[in-house]
Amino acid sequence: MYCTRKVTDSVTWVGAEDRRLALFENLFPIPRGVSYNSYLILDEKTAVLDTVDAAVTRQYLENVAHTLDGRSLDYLVVNHMEPDHCACIEQLAARYPAMKVVGNAKTFALIRQFYGDDFAARRVEVKENDTLCLGKHTLHFVFAPMVHWPEVMMAYEDSEKLLFSADAFGTFGALNGNLFDDEITFDAAWMDDARRYYGNIVGKYGAPVQAALKKLAGVDVKTICPLHGPVWRSNIPWLLETYDKWSRYEPEERAVAVLYASMYGNTENAANILAARLGEKGVKNIRLHDVSGTHVSELIGEVFRCSHLVLAAPTYNNGLYPAMANFLHDMQALALNSRTVGLIGNGSWAPVSAKKMEEMLAAMKNMTVLQPVVTLKSALDADNLARLDALAEALAADLAR
C-alpha cells in the first residue's frame, strides 16, 4: 500500500524508509533507521526527482504509481547517482516507457558504469544553470560537485521556491510520519544523527560545500528537500548557518570531549580524573567516550561538535592502540582540522602512544597540542598526577578564552 506525504499541493514525497538496515553504506550504524527521499512534481509534465535504495523498491513503486494516478511519468531527474538514490532507475524506465532521464555528463557516465547502459534514447543532458520547464514549475540546475560525489547537482524550482538539495542537508533517521522540520524537535531528537551524517558522509568535502553555499547565497529558498531526513521549511537560516560552520570545520561549541582507550582501566582512570578536575574548574557538559566501545562515526561527530578534545590511549605493539589509531586515521581522512587537543599516553615499558598521536595530529591542519602531554607508565603516580592537573588547568584556561 502506498505511503506518501504532500510537500505542497503539486509536490509529493514518494520516498521510503528503512529500519531494517543495520549499517548505512555497510559502515555506519543507523539505530534510528534512514529515509530515502524522492519527490514527484505533478504539472503539465510530471517529474520524479531521484529514486530510492533497492531495499525499498516495492514501496517506492507503489508510491509513484499512486501519486501519478494513471498519468505517465515524463521525467526522472537524477541529482545524485549513489545507489541509495538511483537503485530504481531501471524499474521506472521499464514501467514508464516515455520517461526521459535528466542528468549531466557525469551522471550519464555513472549510469553506464552501474547499469551498462546510459539510456541514450531517453537522455536529457543538462549543463549548469539549464532549466527544465514542467508547466507552472521550472527546475533550474545548480551543479554541486563533490557534495558528495562528482556528478551531484541540485534543482531549484522557482514557482514554489523549492530546493532539491541531494545529500546536502540530509541526516540519518527514519521520518516516522513527520516529514517537516516543524513537526519534530530537531535539536533533541535529530541533531546528533544529523552531525554524524554530515561529518562522516559529507565531512571531507568542506570546500565543495562552501562553494555550493555560495552559489545558493542569493537564492530565495522557502523549502529544502534533501535526499535523507526531514524537509526543511521553518528553520532554514539555522540550517544554512550550521552547514556553513560544519563545512568550515568550525566547532559548534566551545566544549571538550574526552576520548579514551583503555585495556585494563588505568588509562580510563586518568581520563576520569582529568574530567573530574575539569569539572572542578567549572568546565560544563564534558563528555567521555570509550573509543573501543563507541562507533568511530560517533567519535567523528564529537570532533565536529567540540572545540577541544582529550585523547588518551595505551601503547600497543610498539605503536598506538588500534582503536585510537583508526579514529585518528578517520579524522585525517575527513580533513578535520583546527582543534585544541590534550594528550595522555600510557605504556608499561616503552610508552610511545602520546608521540604517535602527536604525529598523527601533525599530519592534520592547524591542530594545537596543549602542554603538558601526560605519559603514564602503567598507572598514574604522583608525578604524572601533577602533570594531569597541569593539563586540566591548561584545558580549562583555553576553553575559557
> 232 - beta bridge partners?
224
Q: Rounded to the nearest whole angstrom, what is the least distance from the CB of residue 82 to ligand FEO in the complex?
A: 4
| Of 149 and 180, CB closest to ligand FEO | 149
Strand segments, DSSP code E, in 179-317 are 223-225, 253-260, 287-290, 306-316
**Any contact of residue 137 with ligand FEO (CB under 6 A)?**
no
Residue 23 near residue 6, CB atoms below 8 Å: no
Binding marks (x or -) toward ligand FEO, 80..119, rule CB under 6 A? x-x-xx----------------------------------
Q: What's the length of the chain?
A: 401
CB of 360 to ligand FEO, least distance (A): 27
Closest CA to 120 of 136, 133, 109: 109
Return d(Cα 371, Cα 194) in angstroms, integer: 33
CB of 85 to ligand FEO, least distance (A): 6
Placement of cell 574548574 in the chain: 281
Stretch that binds ligand FEO, among 41-49, 79-87, 258-266, 355-363 (CB under 6 A): 79-87
**Smaller CB distance to ligand FEO: residue 18 or 167?**
167
For residues 291 and 299, the answer to whether their CB atoms sit within 8 Å is yes
Grid cell at residue 120: 541514450
Please, which of residues 262-301 interact with ligand FEO by CB under 6 A?
none
Q: Is 196 in the site for ligand FEO (CB under 6 A)?
A: no
First to last CA, the chain: 57
Indicate the angle between helix axes 322-333 and 296-305, nearest 10 degrees: 50
What mask of x and - would describe binding to ligand FEO in positions 155 to 194, judged by CB under 6 A? ------------x---------------------------
Those residues whose C-beta lies under 8 Å from the C-beta of residue 4, and which sit 6 or more positions away, are: 12, 13, 14, 63, 66, 67
Please enumerate in sequence order all residues whose Cβ is within 8 A of that of 377, keeping only pairs 6 or more positions apart, or say none.
346, 347, 348, 351
Q: Minimum distance between the CB of residue 28 and ligand FEO, rounded to whole angstroms? A: 11
227 is a site residue for ligand FEO (CB under 6 A)? yes
Shortest distance, position 53 Cβ to ligand FEO, whole Å? 9
- For the CB of residue 227, give the shortest distance to ligand FEO in the complex, in Å: 5
Q: Quick one: which segment of 76-84, 136-144, 287-295, 328-336 binds ligand FEO (CB under 6 A)? A: 76-84
Nearer residue to ligand FEO within complex by CB, 204 or 377: 204
- 217, 241 Cβ separation under 8 angstroms: no
- Least separation, in Å, of the C-beta of 30 and ligand FEO? 12
Nearest to 313 by CA among 249, 245, 373: 373
Given the rule CB under 6 A, which residues bind ligand FEO? Answer: 80, 82, 84-85, 148-149, 167, 227-228
